[in-house]
Amino acid sequence: MAEYDYDVIFIGAGPGGYVGAIRAAQLGLKTACVESRETLGGTCLNVGCIPSKALLHGSEKFAEAADGTLARYGVELGKVELDLAVLQADKDEAVKGLTGGIEFLFKKNKVDWLKGQGSFKDAHTVEVAGKAYTAKEVVIATGSSVTPLPGVEVDNDPNNKNGGIIVDSTGALALAKVPAHMVVIGGGVIGLELGSVWRRLGARVTVVEFLDALLPGMDMDVRRDAAKIFRKQGMEIRLGTKVTGASVKGKKATLTLEPAKGGAAETLEADCVLVAIGRRPNVAGLNIEAIGLGLNARGQIETGHDFRTTVDGVRAIGDCIPGPMLAHKAEDEGIAVAEYIATGVGIVNHAVIPGVVYTNPEFAGVGLTEEQAKERGEIKVGKFPMMANSRAKTNHEPDGFVKVIADAKTDKVLGVWAIATVAGTMIAEAALAMEFGATSEDIAYTCHAHPTHSEAMKEAAMGVTGKAIHI
Ligand code: FAD
Ligand code: NAD
């Protein structure tokens, strides 16, 4: 009889856990994945990447029709009206299709889905729905959930006719009505993506951000332009401001704001408040105490390069460990941890993980920011405005730029940042170039199809040596 029920059990079926489980099974390991949600796919497929992108896509179509963008091309429309229920149904359909697809992939690859909340009995035993399952290796892939803001209590009640007054991202994805005034607390990725959705659908949107710039973690040029672009689109952006409390009366919330550096308080009324101040790892209920697993000061599980924790036989990946909380980072770690377990070798290059904000335009970057690169040594920078890119100009998409940061001596590309309608797609080229150790010259001498937005990448690379053509 086998010593264990499984070679490996993943706890959590988000992009980290489900991808890891499939790769482990592909490599011949007897694999199970524990998931307490009704559907597989984790935050990303159920209440994250996918539903938010469905609403971003649909709301962009509505805005193009409603704000006269289509009229510029001779598309004559009558009165443009929104049927929000239809848009929400389209989003639900996308989620249903993709989460069901993971269930199919589990069956195809013979991954057992253990339904329920998983908790450790010991390092090799996980209890699920009252039954104990053993495994040689257990991978914690429990992801993250919304960081609460003291004094601003979230109520996502979907049965509330208003769809909830104070919501988190999950609530903001399911509103049944366009709020007259939405206040977004936090000018990060979620605040700007979901704030954009509701602004496009007709809400007045105010973003309150604690720091002096939006999108922490991105290059400062990107962060500065982001505030200008969102303001131009009609969002009110309150930088250097913190929310200290909220009260709800009837269908209105009243928020108390203060300058982040201290000063006189003021109040702001809203029909809907979105709390989007970050996410924190899911570890409650795992019973990590039983296996003597500790957390760092940020509540994350620390691991080595092979995703081993301090407990023998227990590894961790995805949002519950340090690093950017991104689906593709979790997926790559899922593949790597399975390969480490099966073969002893796995690869994730944490220096080359792209990040994208899927607004219009999109904001994207990979590698070091200019500020970080400067701290490490001498650099050269090439920057090319989208206004000078023939395709963006033809499409009336003037906002943005591409910036290539290279080492001054070796010319090796250290970071690339882009604002463009398709920056999320363009940044893949930069990630691939950096993965292959490219110089800016390599990008500059790679033939790019004309007319494409990607030519701005080539021109920015040419700009590193001061030789861009079109500016
Ligand atoms: P998760 O996806 O959080 O999955 C963990 C799973 O584990 C969950 O399903 C949970 O139910 C389950 N679980 C937890 N504890 C237990 C337990 N004890 N027993 C059983 N099951 C358990 N990232 C991007 O890269 N691109 C995007 O466009 C993007 N958009 C986003 C939009 C929103 C609104 C949000 C909230 C997030 C978005 N993200 C995006 C982030 C992305 O969703 C996460 O980085 C990603 O889902 C992390 O994957 P994970 O596998 O680590 O964890
Ligand atoms: P975030 O960390 O991106 O932004 C949170 C923002 O809230 C920060 O700018 C912070 O300064 C601000 N803040 C914190 N406390 C505040 C306060 N009291 N008042 C005002 N502002 C305050 O977090 P998020 O937007 O909640 O997103 C969470 C995670 O989900 C991110 O790590 C992100 O990587 C991931 N995500 C990714 C995508 C994507 O890849 N497109 C989309 C959505 C979410």
Domain residue ranges in the chain: 6-146+280-343, 166-277, 355-463
Q: Supply the residues annotated as catalytic.
A: 450
**pLDDT at position 246:** 96
Q: How far is CA 373 from the centre of its chain?
A: 23
Q: How far is CA 450 from the centre of its chain?
A: 30
| pLDDT tops 70 at residue 46 | yes
Whether this model's pTM surpasses 0.95: yes
**CATH topology for 6-146+280-343?**
FAD/NAD(P)-binding domain (3.50.50)
Query: Which ligand number lies closest to the CA of residue 260?
Result: 2
Q: Which CATH number fits domain 355-463: 3.40.50.2000, 3.40.50.1100, 3.30.390.30, 3.30.530.20?
A: 3.30.390.30
| pLDDT tops 90 at residue 159 | no
| CA–centroid distance, residue 410 to ligand 2 (Å) | 35
- Report the pocket of ligand 2 as residue ranges, CB < 6 Å: 149, 185-191, 193, 208-211, 216, 242-243, 276-279, 324-326, 356-358
| CA–centroid distance, residue 44 to ligand 1 (Å) | 5
| Whether 343 contacts 24, CB under 8 Å | no
| pLDDT tops 60 at residue 154 | yes
Domains 6-146+280-343 and 166-277 share a fold: yes
pLDDT digits (tens, 9 = 90+) for 205-232: 999 999 999 999 999 999 999 999 999 9
Inter-axis angle of helices 189-200 and 220-232, nearest 10: 20
Query: Which H or E element spans position 426?
Result: helix 423-435
User: What is the percent of the chain where pLDDT is above 70?
Assistant: 99
Beta strands in 90-156 (DSSP E): 112-115, 118-122, 125-128, 131-140, 144-146
Q: Could you name the CATH architecture of 166-277?
A: 3-Layer(bba) Sandwich (3.50)
| pLDDT tops 80 at residue 157 | no
**pLDDT at position 160:** 58
**pLDDT at position 2:** 76
Structure tokens at 462: 């040419």
Q: From atom 29 of ligand 1, which residue's Cα is the shortest distance away?
A: 49
Ligand 1 atom closest to the Cα of residue 172 is: 34
Q: How far is CA 413 from the centre of its chain?
A: 24
Question: Residue 1: pLDDT band by 50, 70, 90 thresholds?
Answer: low
Task: Tell me the residue type at 430.
Answer: A
- How large is the average pLDDT for residues 260-268? 96
**pLDDT at position 220:** 98
